[in-house]
Every structure is written in C-alpha cells, then in structure tokens.
Amino acid sequence: MTDIIIYHNPACGTSRNTLALIRNSGVEPHVIEYLKTPPSRALLIEMIGRAGMTPRALLRQKDTPYAELGLDDASLTDDALVDAMMEHPILINRPLVVTPLGVKLCRPSETVLDILPDAQKGAFTKEDGEAVRRL
C-alpha cells in the first residue's frame, strides 16, 4: 500500500479536490488537518526543502494575517517566515502532499498527479465541474 500524506484544510476547495484525486488513484491517504495539527517546525522545514521551495513560496497571503504581520517585508529571513507559520498555521499554503515520489504544494489540485505513484482509476471532475485529464 502506498503511503501518502495530505496536509488538508476541508474548507478549501483546492484541498478537497486534491484529496479526491488521491482517492481516485485507489489510495486512502493519511489526512492531517494542519490547522488542528500543524507539522513540527523541523518537519515543515524538511517538507519545504523536499518540495524545492522557499518558506516565502509556501506563505499563504489570502485570508491570513500576512499583511498585518508585515510578512511582505523582503528582508525577513526564512527563519522568521517559518516562525510566523508556526505561530499562525493558516499562513501555510495548502494542500501539501507527501508521497514516495516527492513533496508538492498542490495548487492547482491536479499537480498532485505529478507525485502520485498510481494512475487515476477513472475520470475525475473537480467540484467546479472542470474535468481533469492526465496528458
């Protein structure tokens, strides 16, 4: 059985679509609602590195305290940005997916297909009616 983890926010349509795409590949992932159970600092840093991202690239701006915290300040260090995400997990963009093939911020949701070990078991349509096709 393939071990897949999704750091999920059930209130987010992109996160729900990503979860459904994982399930459509025949796998039931470990679902971690990261707002309730955020990753440790060390795990967050590891996932950012494995995804080939920077902490700034993982920061969510919309519907978060991003502006109030002054996180648009380009002089802030990676450590300061990670500190902000640890203090306010809503700043962690989602969904983050971990599979044996890598770690990816899955925005848009169909980018999860790049790291799923198993193919989709059937056709898939997003919540908004958009069909997802693997080319």
**What residues are annotated to the active site?**
12
- Interatomic CA distance for residues 48 and 42, integer angstroms: 10
Q: Tokens 């305290």: give the residue.
A: 65
- State the alpha helices, DSSP H only, in 5-98: 13-24, 41-50, 55-58, 78-87
- Interatomic CA distance for residues 27 and 63, integer angstroms: 31
- State the alpha helices, DSSP H only, in the chain: 13-24, 41-50, 55-58, 78-87
- State the alpha helices, DSSP H only, in 2-122: 13-24, 41-50, 55-58, 78-87
Q: Phi/psi at 18 (nearest 5 deg)? A: -65, -45
